[in-house]
Structure 1
Amino acid sequence: MPLNSTRRAAALSGALALALGVSACGSSDSDAGSDETGTEIDCAPYEAFGDLDGTTVTVYTSITAPEDEPHIASYKPFENCTGVTIKYEGSKEFEAQLPVRVQGGNAPDIAYLPQPGLLQTMVATGKVVAPPQEVEDNVDANMPDFKEYGTVDGTFYAAPLGANVKSFVWYSPQMFADGGYEIPTTWDELMSLTQQIASDNPDSKPWCAGIESGDATGWPATDWIEDVMLRTAGAETYDKWVNHEIPFNDASVAEALNEVGKILKNPDYVNGGYGDVKTIATTSFQDAGLPVLDGSCYMHRQASFYAANWPEGTNVAEDGDVWAFYLPAMTAEEHPVLGGGEFVAAFADRPEVKAFQTYLSSVEWADERARTCGSGGCVTANKNADASLLENPVDKLSAEQLTDPNATFRFDASDLMPGAVGAGTFWKGMTDWIIGQDDQTTLDYIEKSWPKS
């Protein structure tokens, strides 16, 4: 879809001209460029940022290949029009290394924090710089439902960036059709389907899974617990769990863990294409779902962003090689949705950093992210983004889930918990659980790690 230069000029000059306290220059035909897709850009509004030519902004994130490519492509209008170079660095050791870098005086200019709990930890260092007012104004206008997750002790620090839906099960439509299997609409139907697949297919497994992710190993297993907690305990109890108003080893959490264990710790149900239950701990989350393509497994629970991990040429569509269905609730009437996202935190307040923050919080960036997306995983938290630009069917499906008025949305629990738990003992505890640790020991271990204050 061609970019509406008039709309872009009005929106950007209104929101961005204030970023550095200067007025936007008038539009000029000579101030034109093009983005990654060849769409014409009106660069005049970017002049509001002042003279930024030759400057650099460093970005550090947990988003690695192949999911990093759409992000990098979405920066091109900003780079082309301002002369700023965005230096992108993705790392699988992000959660462990960011605190080390910040404390060691080697902080990036910008970090994409996938956990609000990690934001709290970073704010406690005194190194996070609050964004300019223009960023907060953009969030108030475009992403109000996510603002609280970027706020610490009443102060707004980090604008939402991407958003994802985690309550999905990936599968092969052709394999389901060949087996005569229907998409389950309740949890009991899902468990019955699992047993039926296991009975019908002795040479494959109903499920495949993988939780290896470098220093972040274990996080996919926490997503399982969170999704099931929303279903077995409900949103109100889920919120109490997140806020430690009930202990981590509460009976409601034990029930959810037991329910997940009926799948992930059942050797008849996992781990298709890789081996026994313990191989889940050593299988990377990027590779975990690939056996769906060769029939080694039938289902893989993973977030919408997994669309970017299928091999090039895979047809991701309702009638394609792979597709996703909603992880069912206990009843067909309920519709809990687990989601996550990233938040933009700054560790520097140079003009070019403020300018880039403002761009990332704008409708223009959200639209550019969709326009350059390609393989999927490009839904943002921006409710005013142009949804028609989302070409990937999984992104469209995710946007529908996020905007469904009947959905009960909750943010990823481990991301909201204190960093020592959510990005620490919860990950490790679930890894130990997969390789043989019992339920009670796992829950007690995580509970004991909860900060006392």
Structure 2
Amino acid sequence: MKRHHVVAIASSVTLALSLAACGSDTPEKPEGSGTGTGTASGDCAAYESYGDLSGKTVTVYTSIVAPEDQPHIDSYKPFEECTGASIKYEGSKEFETQLQVRLKAGNAPDIAYIPQPGLLKTIVGQFPDSIVEASAGTSANVDKYYAASWKGYGTVDGKFYAAPLGANVKSFVWYSPSMFADNGYEIPKTYDELIALSDKIVADHGAEGIKPWCAGIGSGEATGWPATDWLEDLVLREAGIDVYNKWITNEVKFNDPQIAAALGKVGAILKNDKYVNGGIGDVKSIATTEFQDGGLPILDGNCFMHRQASFYAANWPEGTDVSEEGDVFAFYFPGMTADSRPVLGGGEFVAAFADRPEVAAFQAYLSSPEWANAKAKATPAGGWVSANSGLDPENLVSPIDKLSFSLLSDTSQDFGFDASDLMPGNVGAGSFWTEMTSWIAENKSDTQVLDAIQASWK
């Protein structure tokens, strides 16, 4: 997991779905699926299809520990109250290692939150007899309430195992609403409009030393990851989701012309002295600027835009008004056309390791609008969002969470899971980071960088 994901953590009408019964190896008991905007205590109509689970216990194992665990625990209450089941939550900082230890020892949890599709693939490959295919109710919910890409990330070798849970959006550009208004600038709707806006800012303010963009890719031993996000966003836009997914598995190589074209577009911004690095320095200063500080010159009026994920909201100084009419806000990093709206991001996935009716029901609940709304209500400080289109945005607190949801809930868009998180560790968290840093700091050529990353693939 990229180190910046830690920052992210430290951040309707009710319908009835007719669901298939459990598989032949499971007792004939209905698996629930609900819809709507959530269920208040005592209103259990949407939970009837889960059946009476009184006396049953479901164990949940995750990487989310105190104090971030409490909103999750609270979100289970409607399910517990309406079905009679008890949910036993356990969070661990050693989750990724200990989950595999427990599976090997035959001590699997009933449910686990898997933070990366790559880990899910590892578990399916190493412990095929431990993990259970997703319940019918879970599958029906994901088909209805999520973009198709999400189901793909929870699928291994053609079998659907894990439904999406929470999500984050990386395809954002931060800006100052007042600076845009004062200059008569409009939020770009296409990538070409974004470049045209950058050129307009150069023409209007270049003589003052004010730049269109500011950036920083410093992150200690993880320096370089923000640059990989830039390339991921451009591959998703320039080449499309099919090429993007093949790039993750190296079916499409790093030095493929399609990846090179995307890197060229990134370089047209990040390696352009006229565009960067407002309020900080020259192009090379991007490599020595910590990512937390990369967007701060916006507040001083030294740059206009900063591309960074939704979780960057936590990095603005205390007292900063993060809202559409405030000191800073964000707009969607536009696609190549106004109708093309791919989203780069990340999230967790819910896998089951027990084939019991109560486990199938709880897995379905976690993929339902009822749970998404219960979780939103249980997170009063904000900083959480789901791609479940049945989530009522009025239950979200933060304006950035609401904006993120507006992108994630579009079930027609292509969602690209963070590519470097899915690549082999020596590439995704190794050569990809270091070579992108050299690309900035040493002005290493596109060809040299892409060839070096490809050569590291094992």
**3-state secondary structure, aligned to 1:383:** coil
The 2-side partners of 1:156 and 1:336 are apart by 25
| CA deviations over 1:158-217 (Å, ceiling 9, x no partner) | 1111234432211111122334433334243143145347615427773233452x7765
In the superposition, the TM-score normalised over structure 1's length comes to: 0.73
The 2-side partners of 1:396 and 1:113 are apart by 24
Specify the alignment match of 1:29 in structure 2: none
The 1-side partners of 2:78 and 2:293 are apart by 33
The 1-side partners of 2:322 and 2:20 are apart by 37
* Equivalence map 1:96-245=2 (5 Å): 98=96, 102=100, 109=109, 112-126=113-127, 129-131=131-133, 133=135, 134-143=137-146, 145=148, 146-185=150-189, 186-193=193-200, 195-196=202-203, 199=206, 201-202=208-209, 206-210=213-217, 212=219, 218-234=224-240, 237-238=243-244, 240-242=246-248, 244-245=250-251
Specify the alignment match of 1:349 in structure 2: 354
Contact 1:161 1:341 in 2 (8 A): no
* Equivalence map 1:38-49=2 (5 Å): 40=41, 42=43, 48-49=52-53
2:62 to 33, 54, 59: 59
Corresponding letter in the other structure for 1:344: F
| CA deviations over 1:73-123 (Å, ceiling 9, x no partner) | 54554578755342335x6xx8xx825863586998455445423422332
Specify the alignment match of 1:84 in structure 2: 87
Deviation at 1:353, TM superposition (A): 6.5
Contact 1:197 1:205 in 2 (8 A): no
Deviation at 1:249, TM superposition (A): 0.5
Deviation at 1:225, TM superposition (A): 0.8
Specify the alignment match of 2:259 in structure 1: 253
The 1-side partners of 2:115 and 2:99 are apart by 17
Specify the alignment match of 2:326 in structure 1: 320
The number of aligned residues is: 421
1:419 to 415, 418, 424: 424
Q: Please identify, of 139-148 and 364-373, the stretch whose mean Cα deviation from structure 2 is larger.
A: 139-148
| CA deviations over 1:115-158 (Å, ceiling 9, x no partner) | 42342233222276225524334334433612122110122221
**3-state secondary structure, aligned to 1:257:** helix
| CA deviations over 1:358-410 (Å, ceiling 9, x no partner) | 432222111123334455554323233334534543344334434558x7524
Deviation at 1:426, TM superposition (A): 2.9
The 2-side partners of 1:22 and 1:408 are apart by 36
The 2-side partners of 1:294 and 1:67 are apart by 33
**3-state secondary structure, aligned to 2:306:** strand
| CA deviations over 1:37-60 (Å, ceiling 9, x no partner) | 99635578688444357x863311
> Is 1:263 paired with 2:269?
yes
Contact 2:173 2:306 in 1 (8 A): yes
Corresponding letter in the other structure for 1:182: E
| CA deviations over 1:272-301 (Å, ceiling 9, x no partner) | 566665564565545543443344543121
The 2-side partners of 1:174 and 1:101 are apart by 48
The 2-side partners of 1:67 and 1:296 are apart by 36
Contact 2:372 2:386 in 1 (8 A): yes
Deviation at 1:414, TM superposition (A): 0.7
**3-state secondary structure, aligned to 2:327:** coil
Rate the CA distance shift 1:51–1:58 in 2: closer, same or farther, 3 A. same
Percent identity of equivalent pairs: 47
Contact 2:147 2:414 in 1 (8 A): no
Specify the alignment match of 2:414 in structure 1: 409
**3-state secondary structure, aligned to 1:40:** coil
The 2-side partners of 1:112 and 1:284 are apart by 30
The 1-side partners of 2:271 and 2:338 are apart by 28
Deviation at 1:319, TM superposition (A): 1.4
Rate the CA distance shift 1:218–1:326 in 2: closer, same or farther, 3 A. same
Specify the alignment match of 1:440 in structure 2: 447
Q: Please identify, of 303-312 and 168-177, the stretch whose mean Cα deviation from structure 2 is larger.
A: 303-312
The 1-side partners of 2:72 and 2:346 are apart by 14
In the superposition, the TM-score normalised over structure 2's length comes to: 0.72
**3-state secondary structure, aligned to 1:247:** coil
The 2-side partners of 1:22 and 1:286 are apart by 53
Deviation at 1:447, TM superposition (A): 1.5
Rate the CA distance shift 1:283–1:65 in 2: closer, same or farther, 3 A. farther
- Unmatched tracts of structure 1, length 5 or more: 25-36
> Is 1:303 paired with 2:313?
no
2:389 to 383, 387, 407: 383
